[in-house]
Amino acid sequence: MTKNPAPQVAQAADGAALRALFDHLHRASRDHAAPTYAQRRDRLLRLQNLVQQHDAQLKAAVAADFGVRGPNLTEVADMMVLRASLADNLRHLKRWMEPKRPSTPVYLRPASGHVQRQPVGVVGIISPWNYPVQLALAPTAAALAAGNRVILKPSELTPHTSQCLADLIGAVFAPDELAVVQGDATVAAALAALPLDHLFFTGSTAVGRKVAQAAAVNLTPTTLELGGKSPAIVDITADLADAALKIAHGKLLNAGQTCIAPDYVLVPQGREQVFGEAYAAAVAQMFPTIEGNPDYCALITERHAQRLRDLLADAQAKGARIVPVGPSAAAPASAATAPKRRAKAAPAASRQMQPVLVFEVRPEMALMQEEIFGPVLPVVGYGNRTEVTTFINARPRPLALYWFGRDAAEQRRVMESTTSGGVTINDTLMHIAHEGLPFGGVGDSGLGGYHGEAGFLRFTHEKSVLVQSPLSLGHLFYPPYGRRFESVIKLVRRLL
């Protein structure tokens, strides 16, 4: 870290304070442009220790923000993936940092070339509310591994978690290494407008467009982890009960507030009702109760809950059939437990929305045009397999795609005929947990991927270096051009 005095980091940073903080990190990134392996490892270990030592504190902060979100759910949804990411960075960091030495073309020998991997400088990270620990710290870990300085702006919709992260990070990192700024969308916009060396944003496609426009003013490279309508395809060869269970898990984890949650499901025509029954059984298996159940997350705010109710009302007005499944969140509690549960759960339990299936949907319905981001699953019937890929390809490219079935040829056809950020076959969500697989979107669902080495490279400048040999024959290509040059060119052509 530098010895320059650090600016005061405001909890709700104004423009001047944010600019001063950026300038401080920018100077540090230029004065100490090449952090060593030991320095990078130390930063990752501090972040890893922070997560391990303050596990309960972080989970309690998340629970306070959502109202109902149990520690086991946060372990699965946030902490487990984050721990795996930190461990992977530490395990492979030394190899990732090493120069890469490609083969030198014959016409340049005996020169040699290598690719030097260096930090880009100062990285801005704007993280979302739905997985407020994982989606803040996983990209931060990748940026630190790559040797960068980081300004992290967590979501204002999870104020307890954001404050907890600010306090914990401020205690173990210098402001010229990793700093947290808090505030609303105004602060996020101010951060995006800075001349950062890279900007990483996770959120909606609509906001992602604004972030990209702000970054473009400074030609700031961006990574945009967005969303979209991720389809789940149930092939005629699929085990329907198994598919319904895994789709229900992917849909209802975090109450559907997941960017890669299945947004709608395509099932063979005539099997919609059977799928619905299997889905209802899966919901009952995983969530015997809804109200007050810590395994079933509350929607983050009443505004988000109202938006889902509006989507359902629009669909019903246009002819959809709405089918609630599983136990009702509004069902009265038993006489023995009702007063205690109501006192503890209200008002957050009122945001534990009962899972819903929607049948007889049409493209003009709002829930078939917007990302749902909640426990509402439209069921779309298809007549033949070609209709599946036609339906998907008529829409913006999704962040994720899920396929269930046993027909390898059909699986291959769907993979070759569609483009999505990532895919899980015969399950949902799991591709995000594989650190060896880049995670990211395509088109409207995002720009750029991270996780594992892909994340390290996302925040790295790969500098090309050619080292000329004293025995170089490059002068043979200098003018004036004549017979000697023509002879050399003929030889080169034969060797290429």
333 pLDDT higher than 70: no
420 shares a domain with 281: yes
Mean pLDDT (the chain, rounded): 93
pLDDT one-digit tens code per residue, 26-84: 999 999 999 999 999 999 999 999 999 999 999 999 999 999 999 999 999 999 999 99
pLDDT one-digit tens code per residue, 111-131: 999 999 999 999 999 999 999
Reported in sequence order, the residue ranges of 226-293 that DSSP labels E, i.e. its strands, are: 231-234, 264-268
Q: What is the mean pLDDT of residues 20-24?
A: 97
80 shares a domain with 103: yes
Catalytic residues: 225, 259
Q: Any long-range contacts for 204-207 (C-beta under 8 Å, 24+ apart)?
A: 204/371, 205/371, 205/396, 205/444, 205/445
Chain centroid to Cα 100, Å, comes to 28
182 shares a domain with 287: no
117 shares a domain with 173: yes
Return the percentage of the chain with pLDDT > 70, whole number. 94
The DSSP code sequence of 467-479 is E--TT--GGGGSS
379 shares a domain with 320: yes
SS3 for 489? helix
* For residue 398, cis peptide bond before it (omega within 30 degrees of 0): no
User: Cβ–Cβ contacts within 10 Å for residue 466, how many?
Assistant: 10
Whichever domain contains 145, its CATH number is: 3.40.605.10
- Degrees, nearest 5: CA angle 145-151-154: 105
272 shares a domain with 412: yes
- Tokens representing 173? 């990192």
Contact yes or no for 255/374 (Cβ under 8 A): yes
Examine the fold and report which residue of 390, 406, 440 is the final residue of a domain before the chain moves on: 440
- What is the structure's pLDDT at 190? 96
287 shares a domain with 163: no
Question: For the chain, how many residues are written?
Answer: 496
Q: Structural domain of residue 341, as residue ranges?
A: 231-440
Please tell me the pTM assigned to this model: 0.92
- The pLDDT confidence band at residue 348, using thresholds 50, 70 and 90, is confident
3 pLDDT higher than 50: no
Contact yes or no for 418/386 (Cβ under 8 A): no
Indicate the number of domains in the chain.
Answer: 2
259 shares a domain with 399: yes
pLDDT one-digit tens code per residue, 249-262: 999 999 999 999 99
Q: CA 221 to CA 199: how far, in whole Å?
A: 6
Q: CA 336 to CA 349: how far, in whole Å?
A: 18
Q: Is residue 138 part of a domain?
A: yes
Q: What is the mean pLDDT of residues 270-290?
A: 97
Give 337's contacts (C-beta < 8 A, 6+ positions apart). Answer: none
332 pLDDT higher than 50: no
